[in-house]
């Protein structure tokens, strides 16, 4: 999101990508080039110049050419200096030929701007003073990086629909927006508005982010689709091209507004299955609005598009490739998870990749909550138990230092899937500790910046892990650093040591760093449940010598468990045998 937030939604005129003759001459094919390691690592610390400018508008004209698997782009980026600036710095993959660079309509001579590893530096003819605005125009073309394993290893997916027509999608969260458009490749550098003009063969559709501003058939076999989106995550800008059929509808929100619903599915899809998925839109919106709050982008749309990869949270145009699968809980988990990111990711965006559990942990916890909403406690507990066995606990969920996306998502160097499943389990334990009222108020404050969100009274915002800790403490009136330190900043789960001598049961919490952990614990003695305070990490309870004792009978507290460790060790052993 831009700072200050700008909600200027201007109707962009229909247009196609228009390279000048000189630009077209210079724009050569880029086949055979590879993206640099620097480009493929998203979330590098921003330069002083990037920190000193506000990203107001990205106007992107992109022509997608399926036959050659190339694109031609013209990006016009508007920045406002927040401190004196003598150059502009953006990111763009070096696989592209850059035909021209201009600032405020004046060509920047070749050789004066540089882009050695994918961080482009453009000198200004004169320094900008604070609050001055400038427009950077970059014309570029070439073969963008092809995704090796979308959506995890990002880039373009060039595919074919069942009928043989081109079916194309982008998925760049793991590697960054600079894979196909000039941007500032950092979570904190969202543009205030993105205008998209996507030119594709006229027999294909190009659904994208935000509001649709119409399309223009140029009469030469090409058509431009125009869109405008406010405050999008930079990795959430998406190109999707294919032979689509569009389903439309509206959802009457419990907050009094009307939300447009749009689903673009392949023309080969079973109409009944597509309609069935579309029917889930309203059901899932009802859950999220009831539990969390207003859909953040009701003035644009809830949009979903079928893609040749599994899925991705592209703001107001979520990618869907789950094949219309439902399990015994009765809903499509992928649709639900990506929709969660409209709240946890797009409305509330992590300040750095180290805070990514705020996106994925909350998004993952919403799924067992939804199964309970649909089917009751049994399905909820089953889903939570399935998540519990997936924990790795090799690295802390939050390191407390700046990390790149790869350092967070790759499980051999960072928390990996623990930001999903462990994050969900931590949130569950927190909810049961502080109660539903406090938990959901804290969640709303995190997402909206206020406890009483209504359409029109909130704006997209950034948040950190510490922001959430502070919010929880404010809502509960309790000091909670012990909780978050033990669960987020330590790799090992809290371990509850138990000893039983005669008629005395003694319990002691041991955390990864030996710190305080006064987590109360329920103890069931012959069917009677007592909540034991754990002052100074310890507690004792008198129990008959022959009594049956069950610790935490409702599995409320996330902790190390011998049975789970043994099970996971057995699973790893079976995998190792299968690899031999």
Q: Helix (H, G, I), strand (E, B), or coil: what is residue 182?
A: coil
> Does residue 318 sit within a domain?
no
Establish whether the linkage from the previous residue to 4 is cis, with ω within 30° of 0: yes
Boundary of a domain, candidates 182, 207, 242 = 242
- For residue 31, the model assigns a pLDDT of 52
**Domain total in the chain:** 3
Rounded to two decimals, what is the model's pTM? 0.92
- Is 447's pLDDT higher than 90? yes
Q: Are residues 373 and 455 in the same domain?
A: yes
Residue 347, by phi and psi: left (phi above 0), alpha (psi -120 to 50) or beta? Answer: alpha
- For residue 177, the model assigns a pLDDT of 97
Q: Are residues 469 and 376 in the same domain?
A: yes
CB atoms near residue 578 (< 10 Å): 7
Boundary of a domain, candidates 242, 262, 288 = 242
> Does residue 314 sit within a domain?
no
| CATH code, 450 | 1.10.390.10
Backbone phi, psi, residue 162, to 5°: -55, -30
> Does residue 514 sit within a domain?
yes
Q: Are residues 474 and 534 in the same domain?
A: no
| CATH code, 511 | 2.60.40
Q: Are residues 477 and 548 in the same domain?
A: no
Give the domain extent around 194: 1-242
Q: Are residues 147 and 78 in the same domain?
A: yes
| CATH code, 12 | 2.60.40.1730
Tens digit of each residue's pLDDT (9 = 90 or more) over 276-328 = 999 999 999 999 999 999 999 999 999 999 999 999 999 999 999 999 998 88
Q: Are residues 543 and 405 in the same domain?
A: no
Joined together, the tokens standing for residue 347 give 């409305």
Tens digit of each residue's pLDDT (9 = 90 or more) over 181-193 = 999 999 999 999 9
Q: Are residues 200 and 144 in the same domain?
A: yes
Distances, alpha carbon 274 to alpha carbons 169, 268, 270, in Å = 19, 10, 6
Average pLDDT over residues 227-237: 96
Tens digit of each residue's pLDDT (9 = 90 or more) over 395-442 = 999 999 989 899 999 989 999 999 999 999 999 999 999 999 999 999
Crossing angle for the helix pair 481-488 and 465-476, nearest 10 degrees? 150
Q: Are residues 8 and 155 in the same domain?
A: yes
> Does residue 279 sit within a domain?
no
> Does residue 303 sit within a domain?
no
Tens digit of each residue's pLDDT (9 = 90 or more) over 500-548 = 999 999 999 999 999 999 999 999 999 999 999 999 999 999 999 999 9
- Is 29's pLDDT higher than 90? no
Higher pLDDT, 521 or 9: 521
Closest CA relative to residue 66, chosen from 222, 181, 208: 222
Average pLDDT over residues 207-229: 98
> Does residue 264 sit within a domain?
no
Average pLDDT over residues 360-375: 97
Boundary of a domain, candidates 242, 258, 277 = 242
Joined together, the tokens standing for residue 226 give 């125009």
Return the percentage of the chain with pLDDT > 90, whole number. 90
CB atoms near residue 469 (< 10 Å): 18
Q: Are residues 211 and 175 in the same domain?
A: yes
Would you report the helix, strand and coil content of the chain in percent, each value rounded to 5? 25, 30, 45
Burial label for 241, CB within 10 Å (0-12, 13-18, 19+), is: buried
pLDDT category of residue 16 using cuts at 50, 70 and 90? very low
- For residue 580, the model assigns a pLDDT of 83
Distance of CA 553 to the CA centre of its chain: 35
- For residue 207, the model assigns a pLDDT of 98
Q: Are residues 422 and 547 in the same domain?
A: no
> Does residue 428 sit within a domain?
yes
Q: Are residues 21 and 63 in the same domain?
A: yes
Q: Are residues 60 and 132 in the same domain?
A: yes
> Does residue 238 sit within a domain?
yes
What does the buried/exposed string (b/e) look like for 47-86 if buried means 16 or more CB atoms within 10 Å of the residue's CB?
A: eebbebbbbbbbbbbbbbbbeeebbbbbbbbbbbbeeebe
Tens digit of each residue's pLDDT (9 = 90 or more) over 154-167 = 899 999 999 999 99
Q: What is the C-alpha R_g of the chain?
A: 26
- Mean confidence (pLDDT) of the chain: 93
- For residue 328, the model assigns a pLDDT of 87
- Sequence-distant contacts of 539-543: CB under 8 A, at least 24 apart: 539/506, 539/507, 539/508, 540/504, 540/505, 540/506, 540/507, 541/504, 541/505, 541/507, 542/503, 542/504, 542/505, 543/500, 543/503, 543/504, 543/505
Alpha helices (runs of H) in 349-420, residue ranges in sequence order: 357-375, 377-388, 405-409
């Amino acid at each position: 999101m831009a700072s200050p937030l700008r909600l200027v939604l201007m109707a962009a005129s229909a247009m196609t990508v228009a390279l000048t003759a000189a630009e077209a001459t210079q724009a050569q094919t880029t086949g055979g080039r590879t993206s640099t390691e620097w480009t493929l690592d998203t979330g590098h610390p921003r330069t002083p110049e990037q920190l000193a400018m506000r990203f107001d508008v990205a106007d992107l004209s992109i022509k997608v050419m399926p036959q050659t698997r190339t694109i031609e782009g013209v990006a016009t980026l508007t920045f406002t200096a927040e401190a004196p600036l003598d150059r502009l710095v953006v990111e763009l993959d070096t696989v592209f030929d850059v035909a021209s660079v201009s600032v405020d309509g004046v060509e920047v001579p070749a050789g004066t701007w540089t882009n050695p590893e994918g961080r482009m530096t453009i000198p200004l003819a004169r320094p900008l003073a604070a609050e001055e605005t400038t427009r950077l125009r970059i014309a570029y073309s070439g073969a963008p990086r092809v995704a090796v394993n979308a959506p995890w290893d990002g880039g373009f997916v060039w595919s074919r629909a069942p009928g043989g027509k081109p079916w194309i999608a982008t998925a760049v969260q793991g590697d960054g927006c600079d894979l196909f458009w000039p941007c500032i490749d950092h979570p904190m550098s969202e543009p205030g508005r993105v205008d998209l003009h996507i030119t594709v063969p006229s027999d294909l559709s190009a659904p994208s982010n935000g509001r649709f501003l119409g399309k223009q058939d140029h009469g030469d076999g090409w058509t431009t689709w125009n869109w405008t989106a406010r405050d999008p995550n930079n990795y959430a800008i998406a190109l999707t091209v294919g032979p689509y059929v569009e389903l439309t509808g509206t959802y009457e929100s419990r907050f009094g507004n009307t939300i447009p619903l749009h689903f673009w599915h392949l023309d080969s899809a079973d109409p009944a299955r597509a309609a069935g998925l579309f029917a889930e839109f309203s059901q899932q919106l009802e859950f999220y609005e009831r539990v969390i709050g207003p859909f953040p982008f009701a003035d644009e749309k809830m949009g979903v598009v079928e893609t040749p990869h599994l899925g991705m949270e592209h703001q107001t145009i979520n990618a869907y490739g789950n094949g219309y699968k439902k399990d015994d809980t009765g809903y499509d988990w992928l649709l639900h998870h990506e929709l969660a990111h409209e709240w946890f990711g797009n409305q509330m965006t992590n300040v750095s990749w180290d805070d990514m559990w705020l996106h994925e942990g909350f998004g993952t916890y919403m799924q067992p909550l939804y199964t309970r909403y649909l089917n009751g406690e049994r399905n909820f507990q089953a889903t939570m138990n399935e998540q519990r066995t997936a924990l790795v606990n090799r690295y802390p969920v939050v390191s407390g230092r700046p990390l790149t996306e790869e350092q967070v998502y790759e499980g051999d160097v960072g928390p990996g899937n623990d930001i999903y499943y462990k994050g969900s389990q931590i949130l569950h334990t927190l909810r049961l500790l502080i109660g539903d009222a406090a938990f959901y108020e804290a969640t709303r404050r995190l997402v909206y910046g206020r406890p009483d969100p209504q359409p029109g009274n909130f704006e997209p915002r950034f948040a950190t892990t510490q922001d959430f800790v502070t919010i929880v403490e404010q809502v509960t009136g309790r000091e909670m650093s012990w909780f978050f330190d033990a669960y987020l900043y330590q790799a090992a789960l809290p371990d509850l040591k138990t000893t039983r001598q005669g008629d005395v049961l003694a319990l002691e919490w041991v955390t990864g760093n030996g710190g305080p952990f006064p987590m109360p614990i329920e103890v069931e003695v012959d069917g009677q449940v007592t909540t034991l305070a754990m002052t100074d990490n310890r507690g004792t309870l008198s129990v008959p010598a022959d009594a049956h004792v069950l610790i935490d009978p409702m599995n409320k507290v996330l902790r190390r468990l011998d049975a789970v460790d043994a099970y996971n060790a057995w699973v790893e052993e079976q995998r190792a045998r299968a690899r031999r």
